Structure 1
Amino acid sequence: MSRCAACKYLRRRCASDCIFSPYFPPNNPQRFACVHRIYGASNIGKMLQQLPIHRRAEAADCLYYEAQCRMKDPVYGCVGLITLLHQEIHDAQSQLAKAQAEIAFLNASSAQEEPPQQQQQQHPAIEPAKQGDPQYYVQQIEAILENGDGPSSLYGPSTATWFC
């Protein structure tokens, strides 16, 4: 029987009931080396033993991913990547809101220029009373951007509980 990557790395005999062998196969030694560098073999073993067997593979994958992120970004790890992605989402939502306001403004401008019988059908989600008022959209967007009441804040609603 071939030793698992963990036992090869630690230079020990691989027992038949080795906690590492199902999750750190011998053909992928860098996987265990990365996780071992961040967490240590003893801590990895303790974490895996505390979990039910059906959750251990997922935990080993998560440990590997988090260890890779921690090696790339020692300060923030995977939280740095999550924060960056939340910021990109926030920026995209801001751009979308600005584009929607510009479309509403252009629709309102073209509606005022055309005679009433030739008006094009407007978007059904917008109330007819507010279709002709571009200032309404500008005020809504400014309120969202100034108050941070938009769909997500800088860190997003889901990460706010991480730091409490």
Structure 2
Amino acid sequence: MQMILSSCREREREIEMASSSSSNFPCAACKFLRRKCMPDCTFAPYFPPEEPHKFFNVHKVFGASNVSKLINEVAPHQRQDAVNSLAYEAEARLKDPVYGCVGAISVLQRQVMRLQRELDTIRADLIRYAAAYNEMPPTTTVGRSSFDHNAGNFYYPNEPYGDNGGSDGGSL
């Protein structure tokens, strides 16, 4: 019984020490810069220890002092967005050193313009087809059914109910 109690106490101490040391893990910035992470560390809220690559990229492109200055100059409620933007730009800059995220934006803008031209072409085709279709007689037989464009009703002339496809005027 004594042995069980002592092993339980040892386990509790281990858990206590692990939890106290886990809260003292340095942030990714302090770990990378090999300095002690203080409770008031500028980087700690934005560069958690689980994401060392985030700080590595930002530091490589912008430098730690510039990032620190930028974080301190931005309003507190905008800091997370600013750091996320820096991380995105740094990653894009490392992938494409010349254009960075501007290259990605440019590709997306060209894609939007291409899709807009395609959409304009399709709209023009629809207008052309609608104009040609309106010149046809209002009721045109296509297979077994036809569509009255003015009334918006389908008619089934060969159905046993008569010309209009049923007693309700032919609408479905």
Q: TM-score, normalised by structure 1?
A: 0.68
Greater C-alpha Rg = 2
* SS in structure 1 at match of 2:107: helix
Shift of 1:11: 0.8
Deviations 1:114-135, CA, capped at 9 Å, x for gaps: 23x54724xxxxxxxxxxxxxx
Total equivalences in the alignment: 120
Deviations 1:76-130 (A, max 9, x none): 1111111111111111111111111112212222322x23x54724xxxxxxxxx
Separation (CA, whole Å) in 2 of partners of 1:24 and 1:88: 34
The aligned runs of 1:56-67 (5 Å cut-off) are 56-67=79-90
The partner residue of 1:20 within 36, 40, 43 is 43
Q: Does 2:29 align with 1:6?
A: yes
Could you say which structure has the greater relative contact order, defined with CA pairs below 8 angstroms and 6 or more residues apart? 1
In 2, Cα distance between the equivalents of 1:107 and 1:55?
51
Inter-partner Cα distance in structure 2 for 1:99 and 1:76: 34
Residue type matched to 1:59 in 2? A
**Aligned-partner residue type, residue 60 of structure 1:** V
In terms of fraction of residues, the more helix-rich structure is: 1
**In 1, Cα distance between equivalents of 2:40 and 2:132:** 74
Q: TM-score, normalised by structure 2?
A: 0.65
Distance in structure 1 (CA, Å) of the matches to 2:39 and 2:102: 37
Q: What is the DSSP-based 3-state SS (H/G/I as helix, E as strand, rest coil) of the residue aligned with 2:149?
A: coil
Amino acid at match of 1:34: N
1:46 matched to 2:46? The reply is no
Deviation for aligned residue 1:57: 1.3
**Residue 82 of structure 1: which of 105, 110, 129 is its match?**
105
Match of 2:121 in 1: 98
Higher strand share: 2
User: 1:160 maps to which residue?
Assistant: none
In structure 2, the partner of 1:162 is none
1:69 aligns with 2:92: yes
Partner of 2:149: 120
Letter in 1 for 2:57: C
CA distance in 1, matches of 2:86, 2:78: 12
Tell me how far 1:62 sits from its aligned partner: 0.9
